[in-house]
Structure 1
Amino acid sequence: MTAQPNVKKGEARCPDAPSTQEIIAKDAYQAPAWVRCESYEFLGDEDISTDRYYDPEFERKEYENLWTRTWQFACREEHIPEVGDYYVYDIGRKSFLVTRVAENEVRAYYNACLHRGTKLRASGTDGCANEFKCPFHGWTWNLDGSLQLAQNGWDFPHVKAEEFELPQAKVQVLAGFVFINMDHDAPALEDYLGDEFMSHLNAWKLEDRYIHCHVSKVIPANWKLTMEAFMEAYHVIETHPQVAPSNADANSQYDTFGEHVDRFISPLGVVSPHLAGEYSEQDVFNMFTLGDSGALGDAERTLSDGETARAAMAKMFRGMFEEAANADLSHISDSELLDCFSYTVFPNLFLFAGISLPMIYRFRPVPGDLRKCLYEVFFLRPVPKDGERPDPAECVHLEEHQSFTEAEGMDEGFGVILDQDTENLLLQQQGVEASAKPGITLGNYQEIRVRHFEQAVDKYVSGK
């Protein structure tokens, strides 16, 4: 695959291969508007400086200007379903008590006693409370953040209760997610996300899902490098060779929506352009459904004359999901059943839409070590028809040496893919620091999400 002469910057696409939209247009069940839209914009081709991945001064500016001014996914509503339920969310050295103070009101208090600074609740905890008491000296706050007790108040005549309410971050609940922002002058979350993405999000009804698996692991690379490993399908042919025969990797579509959201759509059931002519439709179907790397494991079937692997896979998935959900899915497109829809919400959230792969990724820096980050994977399932929302799954914490396949609830085939995605990252972290070249070079189309993301990083870090 060589450069295409006489093509304007950003207009080149994988030669002699159908586009994502051309693949989807041939499906038996038409895709909705949010799937069929395209929104690519050429954003330049200059290198991205590598010091952002290892420079302590750059990290300091991120904590000062980026994390304090952006909307971040703190927890899901199912984490705090009842009044008094709380969930501790940490970002860097900041910590928040996200709590439901009324049926329709959620607050995020800075998780620190206003006496001598002790955390009111330990990191990584959740629970239910009718007050927040400091474990050191017993200063206590009511659920609404008002000061209830300053121990030995006779010694604190200078403490005025109205001045000692727990400080709060800005909070919005959207699609079952609880978002927080430390900047009270920040735009409303809907404005931050933009109208285009909001129309997509509203179509997914993620408020009707709950977390049934939650896995976390510290990755030995800067949080931005780690995020960027998941922003493109360009790496599939080299890093995930077992899925390339049924993944149209180089055909994937890339879009940007405003300043804070981007996505790719990666079609499944179509052979990679890198392997064109090497596999039949039956081979593609078998690769996806049979064997250790197959998604279904034992779905043996011979395709009829003229039947494509993608059509057969969509039919199979439709039947499986209809049976599992006891529901009619004739209104769901083949693309929603099959394809990978990966959205990034700046700064650190990935949303995977569609029916077959509803997931959330979250990435956070590890305080005190800019060469490590905490990577979390959440799998979502529909709330049962009786309306009773199950409790969210407890987080399974993996040690750095452990494989994702060891996590309870993690599909082994997908765990292998995550291992492959993250095994490159230590070498990349070491490489960007060892390199004589002071920047990374990006493709104009397939790596547009990386550029879009880093341009937003630069904007916030510079204080704009």
Structure 2
Amino acid sequence: MTVIEDSAQSRSGTVPPRYACGETFVPKSRYVDPEFLRLELDRLFTQVWQPACREEELPAPGSFYEYVIGRQSIMVVRQKDRSVKAFYNACTHRGMKVVRGSGCAAGGDLRCQFHGWRFALDGRSSFVPSRDEFLDRPRDQWSLRPVAVGSWGGWIFVSMADNPPDLLEWLDPLPSALEPFRLHDMRFRWRKRTPLNANYKTVIDAFIEGYHTPGTHPQTLRAAQGPRPPAEPAAPQEFVYAPYTPTLRYRNHSRFIYTARPDSGDRDAARKAQAARPEVFANSMQYNYLEVGSLVTERDYRAARRLATMEPSDIPPFVLYHQMCEELALAEGVDFPKMTMEQYFAGNGDWHVFPTLVLLVEKSCVLGYRVLPDAENPNRCVFEMFSLEHFAPGEVPETSWLEVERWQDHDGWGELPTQDLRNIDAIHAGMHSRGFDGLWLNTAQEMSIRNAHAIADRFLFGVDDGQGAAGDG
């Protein structure tokens, strides 16, 4: 079957056989085939909402940020009234990019550096040299072409769709589940980006399931051995105590949580008793600060160190830790989010904000990843990693994106993220093997991956297989 015939078939509401997923099987062609990447860039990324930048990256009127997805460049611009507009980043004269990177428009207008055309911050054409030498055309054809824009949680989202869905409806259930965490009040602690030799989905997949934890991060099973436990490979018997991370699937997104296995019973009573000791729980929190650099703030780290010196009591260490973190934050002037434990567990976890954003959410801190596809090569992508926090007034640090050409050249990723990055190239390289046909997924802990492909198929091929039912576990 030719590519043209495949495309015709896809528009009829069926998935071409080489891209068709099973209940738990995903063919490798969806990761390594250049034609599939082209379909994603043409049909998926042009129709969905995507986080372009954070509000804080547009600090003043005239501030702009260039968001690049495939070959599409979109400029997001802060207006004089502090609202935000977005436009295709192409001068309507000859297609020249009007802005590059980020910055602030000099003199309050956007200027094309090719022929000097100018545009107001709202996209209207404001100056055309020798305009009388051009044939007349409608005014809107001189102006920048707008792109739909919206905001939630401190992010500015854009959509290239002609009639995109309501942003909050697209994000459901994130807006309600994460409202108590007040993500919109958080600010960057740090942020980094680097290219990787892998498909963007290969990277996303590695961060939206917890099934890999004992295999990739064995030290996290050994909190009783200190805040920096040894990381030699886990023995088979240690896998019994691996975290259980079932997937919750939604219409457009997914989440996995950490919980007890339904059938665990009392078989690991000794392990549970060990985990109930304050110093053991505190060790895990200290590890996140020391070797992840996120999920735990410096204040939380101090609370964890104090917790590690306490004797067991009737109050679980988890509850004590959260109380201590809140008290310390409030004492230091942080407008700390208030929520019930029910609200915490409704929002806490690892969220896949389809298609490119992953958020690991805690009360005081968020660890985030964004992974963007290459414009032409399915074996390349751009990986971004960042941490957001609640800060006291006047304590928000000045940050910018740390650009690293090779991730190996930066030694500040932390032990746990480094373990993930070491895997990525080998995972994607293995997908090219003649001995590998595709992904065979765990039915409980890896269905976030299958759900992402089901969402994609709605846009790519007009197929809705019901995999992403709201609240489906």
Give the Cα–Cα distance (whole angstroms) in 1 for the partners of residues 59 and 80 of structure 2: 10
Residue 229 of structure 1 and its aligned partner are, at CA, apart by 0.1
Query: Deviation string for 1:205-247 (max 9, x for gaps)?
Result: 2221222311112122100010010011111111111112359
How has the CA–CA distance of structure 1 residues 335 and 139 changed in structure 2, closer, same or farther, with 3 Å as cutoff?
closer
Residue of structure 2 equivalent to 1:254: 247
- TM-score, length basis structure 1: 0.78
Query: Deviation string for 1:322-348 (max 9, x for gaps)?
Result: 4444568775549949x9611111111
Q: How does 1:210-225 map to 2 (within 5 A)?
A: 210-225=187-202
Residue 72 of structure 1 and its aligned partner are, at CA, apart by 0.3
How has the CA–CA distance of structure 1 residues 51 and 265 changed in structure 2, closer, same or farther, with 3 Å as cutoff?
same
Give the Cα–Cα distance (whole angstroms) in 1 for the partners of residues 403 and 181 of structure 2: 28
Residue 61 of structure 1 and its aligned partner are, at CA, apart by 0.3
Aligned pair count reads 407
Give the Cα–Cα distance (whole angstroms) in 1 for the partners of residues 397 and 334 of structure 2: 22
How has the CA–CA distance of structure 1 residues 449 and 147 changed in structure 2, closer, same or farther, with 3 Å as cutoff?
same
Residue of structure 2 equivalent to 1:21: none
Residue 303 of structure 1 and its aligned partner are, at CA, apart by 2.8
Match for 2:356: what amino acid? Answer: N
Give the Cα–Cα distance (whole angstroms) in 2 for the partners of residues 179 and 365 of structure 1: 17
Give the Cα–Cα distance (whole angstroms) in 1 for the partners of residues 397 and 274 of structure 2: 45
Would the aligned equivalents of 1:343 and 1:352 in 2 still touch at CA under 8 Å?
yes
Residue of structure 2 equivalent to 1:451: 450
Residue 120 of structure 1 and its aligned partner are, at CA, apart by 0.9
Q: After alignment, is 176-185 or 390-399 more displaced?
A: 390-399
Residue of structure 2 equivalent to 1:105: 83
Match for 2:255: what amino acid? Answer: R
Would the aligned equivalents of 1:303 and 1:312 in 2 still touch at CA under 8 Å?
no
Query: Deviation string for 1:110-153 (max 9, x for gaps)?
Result: 1111121111112x322234111111111221222111222222
Match of 1:236 among 213, 223, 230: 213
Match of 1:71 among 49, 52, 69: 49
SS of aligned partner of 2:378: strand
Give the RMSD, CA atoms, in angstroms: 3.3
Residue of structure 2 equivalent to 1:121: 99
- TM-score, length basis structure 2: 0.76
Residue 454 of structure 1 and its aligned partner are, at CA, apart by 1.4
Q: Residue 288 in 1 paired to residue 284 in 2?
A: yes
Residue of structure 2 equivalent to 1:266: 258
Give the Cα–Cα distance (whole angstroms) in 2 for the partners of residues 205 and 326 of structure 1: 13
Q: How does 1:388-399 map to 2 (within 5 A)?
A: 390=396, 393-399=399-405
Residue 382 of structure 1 and its aligned partner are, at CA, apart by 2.2
Would the aligned equivalents of 2:181 and 2:337 in 1 still touch at CA under 8 Å?
no
Would the aligned equivalents of 1:233 and 1:249 in 2 still touch at CA under 8 Å?
no
Would the aligned equivalents of 2:62 and 2:121 in 1 still touch at CA under 8 Å?
yes
Would the aligned equivalents of 1:88 and 1:121 in 2 still touch at CA under 8 Å?
yes
Residue of structure 1 equivalent to 2:372: 364
Residue of structure 2 equivalent to 1:30: none
Match for 2:415: what amino acid? Answer: V
SS of aligned partner of 1:370: coil
Q: Give the helix-richer structure, 1 or 2.
A: 2
Match for 2:406: what amino acid? Answer: E
Match for 2:66: what amino acid? Answer: V
How has the CA–CA distance of structure 1 residues 267 and 325 changed in structure 2, closer, same or farther, with 3 Å as cutoff?
farther
SS of aligned partner of 1:428: helix
Residue of structure 2 equivalent to 1:429: 428
Give the Cα–Cα distance (whole angstroms) in 1 for the partners of residues 456 and 73 of structure 2: 22
* Alignment gaps of 5+ in structure 1: 1-42, 408-414
Residue 399 of structure 1 and its aligned partner are, at CA, apart by 2.7
Q: How does 1:199-214 map to 2 (within 5 A)?
A: 199-214=176-191
Match of 1:345 among 353, 367, 378: 353
Would the aligned equivalents of 2:65 and 2:77 in 1 still touch at CA under 8 Å?
yes
Match of 1:142 among 103, 106, 120: 120
Query: Deviation string for 1:279-309 (max 9, x for gaps)?
Result: 8344734642668769748554253366755
Give the Cα–Cα distance (whole angstroms) in 2 for the partners of residues 328 and 101 of structure 1: 30
Would the aligned equivalents of 1:147 and 1:165 in 2 still touch at CA under 8 Å?
yes
